[in-house]
Amino acid sequence: MNNIPQIKVGIVAVSRDCFPAPLAVNRRKALVEAYTKKYGKDDIYECPVTIVESETDMVAALEDIKKNECNALCVYLGNFGPEISETLLAKHFDGPKMFCAAAEESKETLGVTGRGDAFCGMLNASYNLALRNTKAWIPSYPVGDAEDCADMIHEFLPIARVVVGLANLKIISFGPRPANFLACNAPIKQLYNLGVEIEEESELDLFEAYQKHEGDKRIPDVVADMTKELGDNKMLPKLAQYELTLLDWIEEHKGYRKYVTLTTKCWPAFQDMFRFVPCYVNSRLTGMGIPVSCEVDIYGTLSEYIGVCITGEPVTLLDINNSVPKDMYKEFIEGKFDYKHSDTFMGFHCGNTCSSKIHNAHLDYQKIMANTHPAEWCEGTIEGDINPGNITFYRLQSTADNILRAYAAEGEVLPVATQSFGGIGVFAIKEMGRFYRYQLIGKNFPHHGAVMFGHYGKTLYEALKYIGVDPKEIGYNRPAGVRYEDENPFA
């Protein structure tokens, strides 16, 4: 299942009628050539219609990029640009859009026929976008030569994937949150504000569907694939049956939506009825680009999906779980890595992380659930230490009073053996102790955080702003010396 959008950016050049139109056209051609040389041509389309002051030009350009199946737009100011028609194009284009502008090429081209003044035009473009209540992504420094602007368009792709993905996403949830587990409870109104649909189903419906898949002729093929991944195990036929149940449910219930994520009530009744745990299957679907969050964490799976759109790779959902023991820190981290003890913690979940992100991955039973259930009913987790490397820990959440709030922090998984169980890693984030207290606790975030495997904070921040999160509500791990609003200045 292709579960994230493929972006095709229509590049439309604009020109003010008192500037030479060939200047914008030639700069557009140079931009397309630079992009194609560096990134290929699959992501872009060069619109042949140059908008020159005219609203009819705008309509022609809009129809052209729609006909050529562009789902994102780049308005390229080849010169000063027509502020009215260029922003009308953005207003009427149904999809994510960006603006960038051409820099002057040379001291030899600063005469009347060669100077474009797009540096000036970007100011009026931004003002007119605000007048029309039209949202567009503007890079941090939106003026550059052909190569610079090509990089800006490429930087826009994951942001556009998030926007298009959420506009076509359905979240399917099974079961209410477990009793005594309100941490993942949040109003769903903001899902609709983001353009996301949600379908809430019963665990009983899921169990019925699972039973109807008994003896499914596809089970042996799925078992063979699971065996290649982790080796043979007596649990695999049941897990394969469950995987096919979820995949068929997605196809039968996604409706008019193109993309789907899931979230399930994974305890305690799940073990009683299914006689296994769903963790490994969740990890496999996440590896297919279909995130599945635990404990009916709706905003957890939403956060994971945003990460998949940004990275194009599997993500995971972990508990911000336990501190690193001081003796472990002193033996394996202190003096070897540039982190204080309070910068470190362990990220853990029962076994939902894709095997490609874990070393020594193996099937096991869920040891916490086995405290209240027979161990053989709790088999089906995937365990191992999470691979060391860069990460971005993040979450998008609706508050209890229906405000979108998010956080993002870049760090790493350290190459330190966890000496523990589950899917787990030793994480290190600069100034994590203060971030934990004043952002995570102070802003009432739950224990689940999503993880992208790499540093993607810059892109995530821009994507969150584009989908409507107030920048004041996007937290980050502030450096030493930069206080949080409610941080004690004398501490």
For 459-468, how does the pLDDT look when each residue is reduced to its tens digit (9 = 90+)? Answer: 999 999 999 9
**Cα gap 240→284, rounded to integer Å:** 10
Q: Given pLDDT bands bounded at 50, 70 and 90, which one contains residue 1? A: low
pLDDT score of 269: 87
- Tokens 């809430």 belong to 200
Mean pLDDT of 322-332: 98
pLDDT digits (tens, 9 = 90+) for 361-400: 999 999 998 888 989 999 999 999 999 999 999 999 999 8
pLDDT digits (tens, 9 = 90+) for 121-135: 999 999 999 999 999
d(CA 397, CA 491): 29
Closest Cα to residue 260, out of 299, 295, 291, 294?
A: 291
Q: Please compute the mean of the pLDDT values over residues 310-337 and round it to a whole number.
A: 98
- The fraction of the chain above a pLDDT of 70, given in percent, is 100
Q: Read off the pTM.
A: 0.96
pLDDT of residue 108: 72
pLDDT-based confidence at residue 346 (cuts at 50, 70, 90): very high
Better pLDDT: 319 or 184: 319
- Cis-peptide into 237, omega within 30 deg: no
Q: E-strand spans in 304-440?
A: 316-322, 344-349, 358-365, 379-386, 389-398, 404-413, 423-428
Neighbouring residues of 167: CB distance < 8 A, sequence distance ≥ 6: 195
CATH 3.40.50.10940 residue window(s) in the chain? 9-166
C-alpha separations of 444 from 183, 191, 398, 468 in Å: 9, 19, 10, 20
Residue 473, pLDDT > 70, answer yes
412 or 176, higher pLDDT: 412
Q: Which CATH number fits domain 169-476: 3.40.50, 3.20.14, 3.30.1460, 1.10.287?
A: 3.20.14
Mean pLDDT of 201-212: 95
298 and 173 in contact (C-beta within 8 Å)?
yes
- For the chain, the residue count is 491
Mean pLDDT of 185-205: 94
Domain with CATH 3.20.14 in the chain: 169-476
Q: Is the pLDDT of residue 36 over 80?
A: yes
357: Cβ–Cβ under 8 A, 6 or more apart, which residues?
Answer: 314, 316, 386, 387, 453
**Which range, of 18-27, 409-418, 443-452, averages the lowest pLDDT?**
18-27
Decide yes or no: CATH 3.40.50.10940 for domain 9-166: yes
Other C-beta atoms closer than 10 Å to the C-beta of 96 total 26
What is the C-alpha separation between 346 and 387, in angstroms, rounded? 13
In this predicted structure, what is the pLDDT of residue 114?
Answer: 76
Rounded alpha-carbon distances, angstroms, from residue 128 to 99, 137, 152, 365, 371: 12, 14, 21, 59, 62
Binned at pLDDT 50, 70 and 90, residue 452 comes out as very high
Tell me the average pLDDT of the chain: 95
**Which pLDDT band holds residue 320 (cuts at 50, 70, 90)?**
very high
Tell whether the torsion through CA atoms of 78, 63, 312 and 446 is positive or negative. Answer: positive
